Homo-oligomer: A and B are copies of this chain.
Amino acid sequence: MLAIVSLVQGKRSQMRCRKCGEKAVINMRQHKLALCTAHFLDWVPEQVEHAIRRYDMFTHHDRLLVAVSGGKDSLSLWDILQRLGYSADGLYIGLGIDGGVSYSVNSFEYARSFAQEHDLKLHVVDIPAEYGESIQAIAMRTHRGHYKPCSVCGLTKRHAMNRIARQYNYSVLLTGHNLDDEAAILFGNTINWLGPYLIHQSPVLEADKPGLVRKVKPLCRMYEREMAAYALLRGISYIHDECPFAKDSTSIYHKELLNKLESDRPGAKLNFYLSFLRARRDGLFSSSIDDQAEFLHACPECGQPTSAPGLCAFCRMFVQVEDRPDSGQLMDHDHTQLEK
């Protein structure tokens, strides 16, 4: 209970729920809002539903696929979707990351358990089993990311998410990116003024080209701290370790800077992100710099859409490997059939 109580900042003992006057468990300075457990657990799904509608993410008629990592954000998102009455299946992508903490093994266990407990369908892609190599092994022999696996990992996950969503006819792919994630990505793109990345960062990535599945981020307005509190108060078991390769990453560094800003100016992080979305909606950026407007064609190896002249970036990572297993084989499980 200590961890929960410590969510309340400042005058802890005097803090009361704004809705019922009971003792508050969380104080959100950015919203000038303190809530008790029950009202907080109602408030979070309300906020997520608001974002879903605000950005026209999806309706109850869509077929939803949630990318679940075993972390607090994606599992909480899956939980919230259920509570809001949306039917959504899960997708876990096993990357073969150990890092001394059995990262992939443990994170899969959290995702699998959640699916089992809630009687939800979970697709599983096991990258080492399918492609014969872990993310680290691929990163070690490619130039992508200077032997740090984050770039290979991102590419692999995007490839697998789009592949499974298409294969099983999901209309929308959901990820658990929270406000802290989005603000840190935006900060990194802004501090270097990366135009094409700036104009494409959005709560909704439209399926505006053949072969691309619509991607949405329903937690984009939720602070990481709010999601941690939600998972804790809902009793959701999740992996607490960060990915061992995320340590010293630029995005974590940017998160720390934004946390400093947020702690001095509550609401600054949300304002940074929302004012960006508003400015873009109001026409700040010129569409002429959109370098992703080019034609996409199907990769001759995997069939996924790509703007590259031949193989897609994912398949190019494997062209020098001769004896890799057939990549056409997909492991698909619901919770009663899971196997690793």
B260, B261, B278, B286: the one within 8 Å of A285 (CB): B286
Kindly identify, within residues 148 to 201 of chain A, every residue whose CB is under 8 Å from any CB belonging to chain B: 190-195, 198-199
Q: How large is the interface on A (under 10, 10 to 19, 20 to 34, 35 or more residues)?
A: 20 to 34
Complex Cα distance, B194 from A112, in Å, reads 45
Q: Interface code A226-267, partner B: CB below 8 Å = 1, 0 otherwise?
A: 000000000000000000000000000100010011001000
Question: Mostly helix, strand, loop or mixed at chain A's interface?
Answer: helix
Given the known interface contacts A257-B257, A257-B260, A260-B257, the answer about A191 and B268 at a Cβ–Cβ threshold of 8 Å is yes
Cβ of A288 under 8 Å from chain B: yes
Minimal beta-carbon separation of A200 from chain B (angstroms)? 13
Complex Cα distance, B288 from A282, in Å, reads 10
Q: Interface code A270-305, partner B: CB below 8 Å = 1, 0 otherwise?
A: 011001101100111111110000000000000000
Q: Which residues of B contact A195 (CB under 8 A)?
A: 279, 282, 284
Complex Cα distance, B286 from A272, in Å, reads 20
Minimal beta-carbon separation of A270 from chain B (angstroms)? 12
Complex Cα distance, B194 from A283, in Å, reads 12
Q: Which residues of B contact A198 (CB under 8 A)?
A: 284
A192 and B275 within 8 A (CB) = yes
B191, B257, B264, B286: the one within 8 Å of A284 (CB): B286
Minimal beta-carbon separation of A310 from chain B (angstroms)? 28
Minimal beta-carbon separation of A165 from chain B (angstroms)? 31
Minimal beta-carbon separation of A245 from chain B (angstroms)? 20
A288 and B283 within 8 A (CB) = yes
Q: Which residues of B contact A287 (CB under 8 A)?
A: 286
Complex Cα distance, B283 from A198, in Å, reads 13
B283 and A191 within 8 A (CB) = no
Between A257, A268, A287, the greatest number of chain B beta carbons within 10 A of the residue's beta carbon is seen for A257
Between A260, A285, A288, the greatest number of chain B beta carbons within 10 A of the residue's beta carbon is seen for A285
A193 and B278 within 8 A (CB) = yes
Q: Which residues of B contact A278 (CB under 8 A)?
A: 193
Between A194, A195, A287, the greatest number of chain B beta carbons within 10 A of the residue's beta carbon is seen for A195
B253 and A264 within 8 A (CB) = yes
B193 and A279 within 8 A (CB) = yes
Q: Which residues of B contact A253 (CB under 8 A)?
A: 264
Q: Which residues of B contact A271 (CB under 8 A)?
A: 191-192
B257, B261, B279, B286: the one within 8 Å of A283 (CB): B286
Complex Cα distance, B260 from A264, in Å, reads 15
Residue in chain B with minimal CB distance to A279: B193
B289 and A282 within 8 A (CB) = yes
Between A193, A279, A283, the greatest number of chain B beta carbons within 10 A of the residue's beta carbon is seen for A193
Minimal beta-carbon separation of A210 from chain B (angstroms)? 28
What is the interface of chain A, defined by CB distance below 8 A to chain B? 190-195, 198-199, 253, 257, 260-261, 264, 268, 271-272, 275-276, 278-279, 282-289
7 contacts between A and B (CB under 8 A): A190-B190, A191-B261, A193-B275, A193-B276, A194-B279, A195-B279, A253-B264
Q: Can you add 15 more A-B contacts, CB < 8 Å, to A283-B289, A284-B285?
A: A190-B190, A191-B261, A191-B268, A192-B271, A192-B272, A193-B272, A193-B279, A193-B284, A195-B284, A253-B264, A257-B260, A284-B286, A284-B289, A285-B285, A286-B286
